Amino acid sequence: MTLTLWLFVALGATDAAVTYRGVPAEVVRIEVYEWREEKAPVKLAAAIERGGDAASVQAPAGVNVIVRFARSDGLYLLDGPFRWPAEPTERLLDTRWRRSITVDASGGSFENPAIHWLAEMDDEDGWGRCVSEAARVTCWGVRASAAGIAYFESQGRTWWAAVSGGAARFRSSAWGRLLIVRGPPFDGRVQVRLRHPVASTQRSRSVRLETQDVARAAGVPIGQSAIWVAGDEVPEGAWVEVLGARSGPLYLSMRELAEGPTSLPIHVALPDARVLDGTVLGQGDAPTAGSLVTLFRLLEKPPATTRDRDPPRRVLVSETTADRGGAFRFDRLGDADYEVVAWHPQLGRASAVLRPGSDRVEIHLRSVGVVRGRVVLGGNPVEGVDVVGVPDQDAIRNAADLVDLKGGDARTGRDGRFLVSLAAAGGELRIGGGRYPVRRIALTRMGAETVDVGDIELGLAIAITVVLDADIACVPRATGPVGRTGLQVVLGTRTGPGLFAMSIPEPGFWEFGLMCGDAERGLSPAVREIGPALLGKDVRFLVR
């Protein structure tokens, strides 16, 4: 008696046969399992007969089963689950190759959780399906080329494992969502960034915000066209930025993702890359070469009028410099509201808000006024001295938009003269630095278009001798002036045991320390006020 016939007799002649046609030749075994939802399937005894590309399978009637047609490499075709019929039946065989995936579930105290499968490619028949088996989870019927997420909910957390062919292990987060990404065109190379805006504690009113990566959050690529995004906290205003190889970025609210159901994947289409061309124009609409052009993305819709509310918050996207013809370009923009700010050190600044779809802009610079003057040293003009318009500290703390505080920059010519633009909010001119002493000229909001500050005598730096209580192989360093914009670092020059010459470029409070190769050491006192009264005198410190 053959094995097939013996199984047929053992099962009983009343058990019906199911016939499959088109069974691939590479199928080496056919197995029948009792399918039990959320529990490991149990293999059943079954009578199998094969002839050509047909197979006849006989199993107990009324049992909920799956039939697996396995290859030698572990891939299989799958039919089911279905109730085994009481009458002979023919069934169509799904020709999509599948696999089973095992995930390590050790290290957690889980009581038979309901495990779900989310895949980059949807299967209309509901496969794969995951079941718990002791300290592991097995996902059956996963498409051979598909990757996905196995997850379950427990103790207020989402436990998930990213499965893409290799070993996988469960991790937990407060929330998680699967993004399934489409064109145009989509070639599988997708980047994702999880960012949030950060307001300075010193500039609470500022509308131009820094950005940081979201802590304890991750974007995990799943196969070729999906990204699993998961995290714990959701900072205010946080977003998920998705960018394809040739697309523009897509911005998604992280809070909306986190508050939605994990079971519902989000299908997103990457927008075409948006290109913005522009020109910066100065007086008489003349092209302005060398203008600094900065692009910001608005986090909120701009108000209908400037009186409605404060300007919307925004974050830096990119920066470039206008060419000789005043032209600039930003590429790979997304479907969002942007602001372009152009700034020139002598001709002023201007900005424009760009709504989605804008691909061309002209920026016409405007100046609230200019400052001119001449820098001299001992009555003689000095070439190459830096002249920088900077805000004062109170203006920095109180301003909503720091762009209003930026004045012009210049460097004196052969005749010592300079011309820079005024900042809208006033501020001061910082003249000198580097090998020159520093002078500061206070500027206020003036009605005149041109402010002439005349000749500015740099004078001399404050030369002091730093005296240490110990002769060590270190060099003193002074940083300052404390509390002023444009900090400088000055190093001493050894003149004897424990003696160093230093030239302090401007009066004020300076922080002192020691540079000892790659290490640093402190001095006491750490901060000293340096003024003209100390010119040519010793300043003593204790080495800590």
User: For position 11, what pLDDT does the model report?
Assistant: 44
Span 428-454, mean pLDDT? 81
Order of all β-strands in the sheet with 360-364: 327-333, 274-281, 360-364
CB proximity list for 228: less than 8 A, separation 6 or greater: 149, 160, 162, 176, 177, 178, 179, 219, 220, 222
Q: Which of 21-30, 232-241, 388-397 has the lowest mean pLDDT?
A: 388-397
What tens digit of pLDDT does each residue of 111-137 get? 667 888 888 766 667 788 888 877 778
Is there a contact between 243 and 191 (Cβ–Cβ < 8 Å)? Answer: yes
CB proximity list for 252: less than 8 A, separation 6 or greater: 179, 239, 240, 241, 242, 266, 268
User: For position 173, what pLDDT does the model report?
Assistant: 93
Q: Which of 32-46, 142-156, 224-238 has the lowest mean pLDDT?
A: 142-156
* d(C-alpha 122, C-alpha 119), whole Å: 6
pLDDT band at 1 (very low <50, low <70, confident <90, very high): very low
What tens digit of pLDDT does each residue of 485-517 get? 778 899 999 999 999 999 999 999 999 999 998
* d(C-alpha 204, C-alpha 315), whole Å: 15
User: For position 8, what pLDDT does the model report?
Assistant: 39
Span 224-253, mean pLDDT? 89
Is there a contact between 510 and 478 (Cβ–Cβ < 8 Å)? Answer: yes
Is there a contact between 72 and 47 (Cβ–Cβ < 8 Å)? Answer: no
* Domains, the chain, ordered by start: 3-95 (2.60.40), 100-269 (no CATH), 279-364 (2.60.40.1120), 370-457 (2.60.40.10), 462-543 (2.60.40)
Predicted TM-score (pTM) of the model is 0.70
User: For position 4, what pLDDT does the model report?
Assistant: 38
Is there a contact between 118 and 130 (Cβ–Cβ < 8 Å)? Answer: no
> Three-class SS of residue 52?
coil
Six token digits for residue 140: 């059956």
Arithmetic mean of pLDDT over the chain: 86
Question: What single-letter DSSP state applies at residue 366?
Answer: B
| Residue of 327 and 370 predicted with greater confidence | 327
User: For position 307, what pLDDT does the model report?
Assistant: 55
> Three-class SS of residue 39?
strand
Q: Which of 336, 325, 297, 56 is nearest to 197 (CA)?
A: 297
Percent of the chain with pLDDT over 90: 51
3-state DSSP: the chain helix, strand, coil percent, rounded to 5? Answer: 5, 55, 40
pLDDT band at 293 (very low <50, low <70, confident <90, very high): very high
Six token digits for residue 179: 């993004």
What does 481-532 look like in DSSP terms, one character per residue? -TTSSS-EEEE-EEEETTEEEEEESS-EEEEEEEEETTEEEEEEEEEEEE-G
Q: Tell how strand 226-231 and strand 239-244 pair up.
A: unpaired
What tens digit of pLDDT does each residue of 52-97 get? 999 999 999 999 999 999 999 999 999 999 999 999 999 999 999 9
* d(C-alpha 135, C-alpha 123), whole Å: 27
